[in-house]
Amino acid sequence: MQSIVPKLMVFVDGSNLLIELSKFLNINFRADKPPLNAIKLSSILVDSFNKYNQWNFIRKYWFSSYQGDDKYFYNLKKKLRENDFEPILFKRKNKREKGVDIALTKEMLINAFNQNFDIGLMIAGDEYYTELVFELKRYGPKIYGSFFEKYGLSDNLKLSFDKFYPLDDRVDKVVWQKYIYEIKEELK
């Protein structure tokens, strides 16, 4: 008898992740104009969830705002695509982020309704996603969560997930050190 590999889709609140990644690494950078190596490190964190190929990765979505010209937008989108993310990007206006949480919510609900995944992995920490998690469960999939436990994680959101995986210990220390160095170099 052949076992069925569960379908996994990943939904990353990239703005939220980059804000807290900056704190976690103790490197000051803007989430709306991140060093491109921070995107690579984020991808390594996400990909660590399928280290043993226990899931069939369907798609990785990245939702975030950005600030910059068309060239920066192109380079950011290119870096996200190189790291197998499906980028959903919003240009910041008047220093305010608009649309990221609504776009993530919409995409998760549509994909859950269409039964495109068995497991939805949300990488976010904001409490306002708690109701979304409960709503998604009504469609049948498991909803897993991951975020930095000490940085920006709502306790209520953490408790709403079927399973929670802390990001803090997802990557080997050698990898952390390599990317800390590369991000600092990029910011010079």
Residue 144 within a domain = yes
Q: How many domains does the chain have?
A: 1
The answer to whether 128 and 16 are in contact (CB under 8 A) is no
Residue 147 within a domain = yes
Q: Which residue has the higher pLDDT, 30 or 11?
A: 11
Q: pTM, whole model, 2 decimals?
A: 0.93
Residue 1 within a domain = no
Residue 2 within a domain = no
Closest C-alpha among 15, 7, 10 to residue 84: 10
What digits encode the pLDDT tens for the residues 116-156?
999 999 999 999 999 999 999 999 999 999 999 988 899 99
**CATH code, domain carrying 179:** 3.40.50.1010
Distance, in Å, from the CA atom of 69 to the CA atom of 157, rounded to the nearest integer, reads 35
Residue 96 within a domain = yes
Contacts of 50 (CB under 8 A, 6+ apart): 8, 57
Residue 122 within a domain = yes
> How much of the chain, in percent, has pLDDT values that exceed 90?
69
Residue 36 within a domain = yes
What digits encode the pLDDT tens for the residues 48-96?
888 766 889 999 999 999 998 999 999 999 999 999 999 999 998 776 6
127 DSSP 8-state letter: G
Residue 79 within a domain = yes
SS3 category, 4: coil
Domain that holds residue 30: 7-187
Q: Which residue has the higher pLDDT, 113 or 180?
A: 113
What's the sign of the alpha-carbon dihedral 131, 166, 116, 91? Answer: positive
Confidence band for 97, pLDDT divided at 50, 70 and 90: low
